[in-house]
Amino acid sequence: MTTTAVIMMIVAMVTVWGGLIAGIVNLARHPEEEGAEPVPPVEL
Amino acid sequence: MATATKQPARREAFGSRNVFILSAIGSAVGLGNIWRFPYVAYEGGGGAFLIPYLCALLTAGIPLLFFDYAIGHRFRGSAPLAFRRMHRAAEPLGWWQVLICVVIATYYAVIIAWSAMYTWFSAQLTWGKGNEQEFFFTDFLRMADVNEVGVSTEFVPQVGVPLLLVWLVVIIIMCLGVKRGIGAANMILMPLLTLMFMVLVVQSLFLPGALDGLNAFFTPDWEALANPAVWASAYGHIFFSLSVAFGIMVTYSSYLKRRTDLTGSGLVVAFANSSFEILAGIGVFAALGFMAAAQGTDVSGVASSGIGLAFIAFPTIVSNATGGSIIGVLFFGALVFAGVTSLISILEVIVAALQDKLGWRRVPTTLVVAIPLAVISMVLFSTTTALAVLDTADAFVNAFGIMAVALVAVIVVAWFLHKLPALQEHLNRRSSFRIGTMWKLLVGVLAPVVLGYLLVNELIAKIAEPYSGYPGWFLSIFGWGMAIALVVVGVILSFVPWSRTSHAKDDPDYDEFLVEEDYDPDPETGSIHVTTKAGAR
């Protein structure tokens, strides 16, 4: 692989996969509030 | 089952936020991520495509995803009910989306059936080395030309039987409900899909020539960025990839608990979808690099997308690679799993709409929806002309269904009903990632401009010459006629009255939500009687 191709591959991975990790970290910092709502029905 | 038709008062819900996120990712990650993105990126400047792609993701994909989440969560209904609650005049948009899902579901299922058969064929190398193309069109599909035979009724059992099985599986999942069916299926299939694809990528990377494939995929062609068509294709791709604007995300977010971080979840869904696309790009181009090396040609000579990539190029790779059968089983298995999780989300749009409309329980509603769909799907797509019908319906429903309804929806909601401030407020009330005026501009101004441009381009292209050279009568039925019928029938359906047992008139859960959130009461729902004007803040 050429250097530019390698650089672009790394940039793509860092931005997109990094974005995913950042999103997960953000969500983990804001956990769901449990027990505040009625339990939804289970059918069948 | 048949005796109890009245639904319990509470709306079904996903077990937790994580189940919702996985299900939304399951819906977004479909066949397009695997077989469309790699080629679109390669054609659009390789590594340089990352720039328009990220731009499209951040300025159109994610804002529109939030738009759908906000509508579904604020108005807590399937697409027709959510739009009706927003404003009576917006209801046809919801039905239009439901009908789009009807069309897509019928042909999406058959691609899953093909992939399932090819998972099996890969293990045995049934097609015979060097015979991949002939095998797919002649032996497997027994393809006939619509110019000669019209729409065929000749049954092709090797397609029809797996198609029936696909329908049985998805009907069972749908009957089990949001939590135990859709949620559970995604909790199992999505981690499995990710794992399988990772193994596939690693194995592809060890094939001779793989690095040449990656080189072709990631080498930037900066001049492509000056080409408006590349930007248009980035926006078009992101738009289809995230499954926004055809009711899925509205429906899924209506099953979220009242206090849920909507934008935070949306960011994870959007980036997970793109992450899978990058992974698919690496896997597909590593494999194509091997194919080029094996055939002594350039990667540009073997690069393809869609059905050609999956059912001709990949079988060729499977025939030639060491351990090819494993690659084939992983690749086609991944297509099956990615397809099933998307198909159930498409079906849920229809099932949820009818549940809201009729006030029925899940199982009878699912059967009433899925059995006729399965029959239509079998009639049209287990015959020798399946590919032509599929190709045409897909091209037209994407352009003049999804893209058109998205354009109309953003214009109506932003410019006629002026609901963006209310939706923005609803998102910010409960979410970790706050949105501001920029979001309103992106949804209300940029999205209509981009969608309008794409739609006009599609119109010009499809009017200029008959799509794929199919005969005029054929395109007027399965192309233009179908696309127009979706709008007409959608409008007609919005005039069918909602009965007293429907969720538009009887939804204590929604009333409770409105009180809790301090929103204006809904004039239609039963338990709180109000005389004030429609209360969609």
Task: Kindly report, residue by residue over B329-339, the tens digit of the pLDDT.
Answer: 999 999 999 99
Return the pLDDT at A43.
55
Q: Find chain B residues with C-beta within 8 A of A44's C-beta.
A: 175-177, 180, 362-363
Q: Mean pLDDT for chain B?
A: 94
Whether residue B218 and residue A27 make contact (CB cut-off 8 A), yes or no, is no
Whether residue A41 and residue B8 make contact (CB cut-off 8 A), yes or no, is yes
Backbone angles phi, psi at B383, to 5 degrees: -115, 180
Return the pLDDT at B11.
87
Token pair of B66 as six digits: 């939030």
Q: Residue B112: exposed, middle, or buried by beta-carbon count in 10 A (0-12, 13-18, 19+)?
A: buried
Which residues have CB under 8 Å from A10's CB, separation 6+? none
Q: Rg (Cα) of chain B, in Å, rounded?
A: 23
The Cα angle at residue B330 between residues B328 and B336, in degrees rounded to 5: 100
Q: Is B246 helix (H, G, I), strand (E, B) or coil?
A: coil
Q: Which of B196, B363, B443 is nearest to A42 (CA)?
A: B363
Whether residue B12 and residue A9 make contact (CB cut-off 8 A), yes or no, is no
> How many Cβ pairs closer than 8 A exist between chain A and B?
114
Helix (H) or strand (E) holding B293: helix B262-295
Other C-beta atoms lying within 10 Å of the C-beta of residue A24: 16
Residue B7: is its pLDDT beyond 70?
no
Confirm whether the ipTM is greater than 0.95: no
Tell me what the mean pLDDT of segment B182-209 comes to. Answer: 97
For residue A14, the distance in angstroms to the closest alpha carbon of chain B comes to 10
Return the pLDDT at B531.
41
CB B204 within 8 A of CB B210: yes
At residue B2 the predicted structure's pLDDT band, cuts being 50, 70 and 90, is: very low
Residue B203: is its pLDDT beyond 90?
yes
- B174 vs B181: CA distance, rounded Å: 6
Return the pLDDT at A41.
60
Helix (H) or strand (E) holding B174: helix B157-175
Residue of B5, B267, B361, B363 to mutate for A, most A C-beta atoms under 10 A:
B267
Residue B510: is its pLDDT beyond 60?
yes
Other C-beta atoms lying within 10 Å of the C-beta of residue B148: 9
- B44 vs B55: CA distance, rounded Å: 14
Residue in B closest to A20 by C-alpha: B271
Residue B4: is its pLDDT beyond 60?
no
Other C-beta atoms lying within 10 Å of the C-beta of residue B322: 10
- B480 vs B170: CA distance, rounded Å: 29
Q: Find chain A residues with C-beta within 8 A of B265's C-beta.
A: 27
At residue B160 the predicted structure's pLDDT band, cuts being 50, 70 and 90, is: very high
Residue B3: is its pLDDT beyond 60?
no
Cα of B258 vs its chain's centroid, Å: 25
Other C-beta atoms lying within 10 Å of the C-beta of residue B248: 27
The Cα angle at residue B189 between residues B183 and B192, in degrees rounded to 5: 140
Return the pLDDT at B36.
95
Token pair of B232 as six digits: 């248009």
Residue in B closest to A9 by C-alpha: B218
Residue of B173, B175, B257 to mutate for A, most A C-beta atoms under 10 A:
B257
Distances (CA, A) of B416 to B31, B330, B395, B419: 35, 48, 29, 8
Whether residue B264 and residue A26 make contact (CB cut-off 8 A), yes or no, is yes
What percentage of chain B has pLDDT greater than the value 70?
96
Residue B445: is its pLDDT beyond 60?
yes
Token pair of B528 as six digits: 């709180």
From the list B47, B270, B271, which residue is nearest A5 (CB)? B47
For residue A35, the distance in angstroms to the closest alpha carbon of chain B comes to 11
Residue in B closest to A30 by C-alpha: B432
- B295 vs B267: CA distance, rounded Å: 42
Render the burial of B356-368: b for 16+ CB within 10 Å, e for the rest. Answer: bbbbbbbbbbbbe
Token pair of B42 as six digits: 């390669």
Return the pLDDT at B10.
78
Cα of B521 vs its chain's centroid, Å: 33
CB B340 within 8 A of CB B112: yes
- Alpha helices per DSSP H over B312-403: 314-320, 324-358, 362-381, 386-397
Convert the pLDDT of each residue in A1-44 to its tens digit: 999 999 999 999 999 999 999 999 999 999 887 655 656 665 55
Overall pTM surpassing 0.90 (yes/no) = yes
Q: Rg (Cα) of chain A, in Å, rounded?
A: 20
Render the burial of B3-19: b for 16+ CB within 10 Å, e for the rest. Answer: eeeebeeebbbbbbbeb
Q: Which of B410, B527, B401, B520 is nearest to B85 (CA)?
A: B520
What percentage of chain B has pLDDT greater than the value 90?
93
Whether residue A9 and residue B214 make contact (CB cut-off 8 A), yes or no, is yes
CB B519 within 8 A of CB B537: yes
Return the pLDDT at B9.
60
The overall longest dimension of chain B from CA atoms, in Å, is 76
Tell me what the mean pLDDT of segment B507-521 comes to. Answer: 92
Domains of chain B: 17-387 (1.10.4160.10)
CB B24 within 8 A of CB B202: no
- Alpha helices per DSSP H over B412-480: 420-430, 437-441, 447-464, 472-475
Backbone angles phi, psi at B499, to 5 degrees: -75, 175
Chain A residues whose C-beta is within 8 A of a chain B C-beta are: 1-2, 4-9, 11-13, 15-17, 19-20, 22-24, 26-27, 29-30, 32-33, 36-38, 40-44
